[in-house]
Structure 1
Amino acid sequence: MSRRGTAEEKTAKSDPIYRNRLVNMLVNRILKHGKKSLAYQIIYRAMKKIQQKTKTNPLSVLRQAIRGVTPDIAVKARLVLFH
């Protein structure tokens, strides 16, 4: 048991325009040299293009894309010893 207090669990904040945590998490993933405003510009421009081309809600398209690339089964590493 550590002598220090336990760390508080941080919740992901939502982005200013879409009010969605998923968009904010995506912005944090594509940060370029710590420039969050540039990352927001890239994401919002992409969302605008999705809106124009598909005529649907870009958040639903983003959720569907994320669901498509996440693995269905969690794979655990296993130690294999050869004799």
Structure 2
Amino acid sequence: MRKVKKKIKIYFPDPKFNDTLVTRFVNHLMKNGKKNLAYKIFYDAIKKIEKIKGEKEERSALEIWKEGLKNVMPHVEVRNRRMGGSNIQIPISISSSSKITKAMKLLISCASIRKNEKTMAHKLACEILDAFKEQGEAIKRKENIHKMAEANKAFSHFRF
């Protein structure tokens, strides 16, 4: 067999919220092995969401983050395949774990390129709130991925 079955990584829950999804997000946020700094950025972002959200919103900041993550989650992706001398893009549905990973990476990358905010925690908080409201750069990128898949729907019968 050419393809080896991927091992499913087991994540331990984070210390504050006791949630494995938070640990997974922090692992994607982490750079150069500085996990404590990544946790600090994430927890500061959650605190800022708690301040910004207002009193009329009854959900907690963690629920807002999860809802924003769900809104950013792409359901399909396009992959290149060489067919007769030309490359065609084939839309393929994504597994649930890949959806979560892509959503996290989209959210973090879109937060890091924001220009108006100073700290990464503030950038992340604003991007999470934008994703929760279904606006912002991460939602635009997700819609762009879906548009590419829709445009190449004719090639969907060439699946791998």
Percent of aligned pairs with the same amino acid: 34
Structure that is richer in strand per residue: 2
Q: Does 1:64 align with 2:64?
A: no
- Which residue is 1:78 aligned to? 81
Higher mean displacement: 73-82 or 54-63: 73-82
- Which residue is 1:4 aligned to? none
Q: Distance in 2 between matches of 1:73 and 1:43?
A: 27
Higher mean displacement: 39-48 or 62-71: 62-71
Q: Does 1:47 align with 2:50?
A: no
Three-state SS of the structure 2 residue aligned to 1:78 is strand
Q: For residue 15 of structure 1, what is the amino acid of its counterpart? A: D
Offset at 1:30? 1.1
The higher-RCO structure (CA 8 Å, 6+ apart) is 2
- Across the two proteins, how many residue pairs are aligned to each other? 78
Q: For residue 21 of structure 1, what is the amino acid of its counterpart? A: T
TM-score using structure 1 length: 0.76
Offset at 1:22? 1.1
Higher mean displacement: 72-81 or 50-59: 72-81
Q: Does 1:16 align with 2:15?
A: yes
CA RMSD of aligned residues (A): 2.4
TM-score using structure 2 length: 0.42
Q: Distance in 1 between matches of 2:67 and 2:26?
A: 17
- Give the unaligned 5+ runs of structure 2: 2-6, 87-160
Three-state SS of the structure 1 residue aligned to 2:12 is coil
Structure number with bigger Rg: 1
What's the CA shift string for 1:22-73, capped at 9, x where partnerless?
Answer: 1111110111221111011000000001111114311111111211222122
Q: For residue 16 of structure 1, what is the amino acid of its counterpart? A: P
